[in-house]
């Protein structure tokens, strides 16, 4: 019996087969359309591709390159010698008590710091790549060392550290003035301080601290990554902390600090986090697009979401009175894995709480400016 005759005897028997074939064709078509619409569609261009992120100075001009040869924080805790950030008065007294050890401690780093100070620029040199090497902590170490080196130059020696020759030479003079001292009363502390005043040492300390403030301003003004911008704000405060103890000492002995005063004269610049957000956007977008293709990764969708997030962060950075943007984690949402699971996971890992950083940057820059004004006010007693 022929197949045609069999089909006539079993009406409808071939329909399931035909419908199955149709279903397969439709399914393949849908998958192909989905792949074309999502997996194979082109990624839109970076909306901020014209933004350039490069150091404002060549490596041979940049003091940060030299600063990276300084000891790391864990190797030598500089702040253990003088706690400048707590209280300038106490830090000056601590430098007096520990002067000999302090001088010995900072001596090996003086030449390096001289070279850092001699470089005309002090700027960030990070590249927008997740695997790029970029160490910025040494910038903070230069501020701490500048303060310690200045104190090592001018802090008063402890009473027991007296030059024996000087004591012998002036023994007779001291005895000849005993009677006058008895009539006049105790010696004037200011006179004793002036006797120990070394103009050249104070000039070196003045130059060292002024250069630290100038470096902080340069880094803060030219930083372009998000981390670099926050470090730049921290450097402004650290440069003031470094100078505060020496300013206290200068007020006690009447030493002028003209270079430091000039470096502190202008207000600190207020910067938004716009460049930092764009730097992080470039870095994350590059990392996203470098991921291998896959069924669970829609490169275009992930890039578009990253662009939209950055747009919201930029708007908030420019106008912090707006409602801060919020980006809930994808993995906390129901059914997140059904579509673009790979892209969502990476966005969750890379995304930072940018709105929180905006308020922190504003507050810390305001704190630094208030500290600048307060430190500058102390010079009125000196000059």
Query: Within a domain: residue 135?
Result: yes
Tell me the pLDDT tens digit for each residue of 157-171: 655 444 434 433 443
Is pLDDT larger for residue 181 or for residue 40? 40
Whether residue 347 contacts residue 305, with contact meaning beta carbons closer than 8 Å, is answered with yes
CA dist 133 to 68, 127, 301, Å? 12, 8, 29
How high is the pLDDT of residue 82? Answer: 62
Specify the range with the lowest mean pLDDT, choosing from 21-30, 275-284, 322-331.
Answer: 21-30
Place of tokens 């308020």: 359
Three-state secondary structure call for residue 60: helix
Q: How many domains does the chain have?
A: 1
Query: Within a domain: residue 284?
Result: no
- Domain enclosing residue 364, as ranges: 59-161+198-274+358-381
Check pLDDT > 70 for residue 208: yes
Query: Within a domain: residue 373?
Result: yes
- The percentage of residues in the chain with a pLDDT greater than 90, rounded to a whole number, is 52
Query: Within a domain: residue 374?
Result: yes
> Of 122, 81, 85, which Cα lies nearest the Cα of 99?
81
Specify the range with the lowest mean pLDDT, choosing from 130-144, 192-206, 236-250.
Answer: 192-206
- Between CA 335 and CA 341 the distance in angstroms is 10
How high is the pLDDT of residue 47? Answer: 96
- Please list, in sequence order, all residues whose beta carbon lies within 8 angstroms of the beta carbon of residue 270, skipping any fewer than 6 positions away: 365
How high is the pLDDT of residue 88? Answer: 82
Band of pLDDT at residue 182, cut at 50, 70 and 90:
very low
Is pLDDT larger for residue 216 or for residue 181? 216
Q: Count CB neighbours of 156 within 10 A.
A: 17
Whether residue 121 contacts residue 57, with contact meaning beta carbons closer than 8 Å, is answered with yes
Query: Within a domain: residue 339?
Result: no
> Of 235, 237, 55, 207, which Cα lies nearest the Cα of 118?
207
Check pLDDT > 80 for residue 301: yes
Rounded mean pLDDT of the chain? 81
Query: Within a domain: residue 281?
Result: no
- Between CA 293 and CA 295 the distance in angstroms is 7
> Of 306, 310, 279, which Cα lies nearest the Cα of 129?
279
DSSP bridge partners of 297 = 294
Query: Within a domain: residue 246?
Result: yes
Query: Within a domain: residue 192?
Result: no
- Between CA 55 and CA 134 the distance in angstroms is 12
Band of pLDDT at residue 332, cut at 50, 70 and 90:
confident
């Amino acid at each position: 019996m022929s197949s045609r005759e069999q089909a006539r005897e079993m009406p409808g028997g071939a329909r399931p087969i035909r419908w199955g074939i149709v279903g397969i064709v439709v399914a393949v078509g849908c998958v192909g359309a989905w792949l074309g619409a999502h997996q194979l569609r082109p990624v839109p261009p970076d909306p901020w591709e014209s933004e350039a992120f490069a150091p404002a100075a060549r490596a041979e001009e940049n003091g940060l390159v030299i600063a990276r040869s300084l000891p790391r924080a864990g190797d030598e805790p500089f702040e253990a010698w003088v706690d400048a950030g707590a209280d300038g008065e106490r830090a000056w007294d601590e430098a007096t008590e520990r002067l000999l050890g302090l001088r010995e401690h900072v001596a090996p780093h003086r030449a390096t710091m001289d070279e850092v100070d001699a470089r005309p620029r002090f700027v960030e040199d990070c590249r927008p790549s997740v695997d790029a090497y970029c160490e910025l902590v040494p910038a903070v170490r230069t501020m701490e060392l500048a303060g310690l080196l200045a104190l090592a130059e001018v802090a008063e020696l402890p009473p027991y550290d007296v030059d024996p020759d000087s004591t012998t030479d002036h023994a007779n003079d001291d005895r000849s003035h005993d009677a006058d001292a008895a009539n006049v009363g105790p010696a004037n502390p200011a006179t004793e301080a002036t006797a120990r005043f070394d103009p050249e040492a104070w000039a070196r300390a003045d130059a060292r601290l002024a250069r630290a403030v100038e470096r902080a301003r340069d880094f803060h003004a030219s930083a372009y990554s998000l981390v670099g911008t926050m470090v730049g704000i921290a450097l402004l405060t650290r440069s003031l902390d470094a100078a505060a103890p020496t300013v206290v000492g200068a007020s006690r002995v009447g030493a002028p600090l003209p270079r430091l005063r000039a470096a502190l004269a202008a207000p600190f610049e207020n910067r938004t986090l716009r460049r930092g957000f764009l730097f992080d956007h470039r870095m994350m977008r590059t990392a996203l697009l470098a991921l291998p293709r896959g069924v669970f990764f829609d490169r275009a969708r992930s890039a578009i979401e990253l662009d939209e997030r950055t747009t919201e962060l930029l708007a908030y950075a420019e106008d912090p009175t707006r409602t801060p943007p919020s980006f809930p984690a994808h993995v906390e949402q129901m059914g997140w894995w059904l579509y673009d699971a790979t892209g969502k996971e990476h966005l969750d890992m890379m995304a930072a709480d940018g709105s929180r950083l905006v308020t922190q940057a504003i507050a810390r820059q305001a704190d630094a400016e208030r500290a600048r004004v307060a430190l500058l006010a102390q010079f009125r007693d000196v000059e």
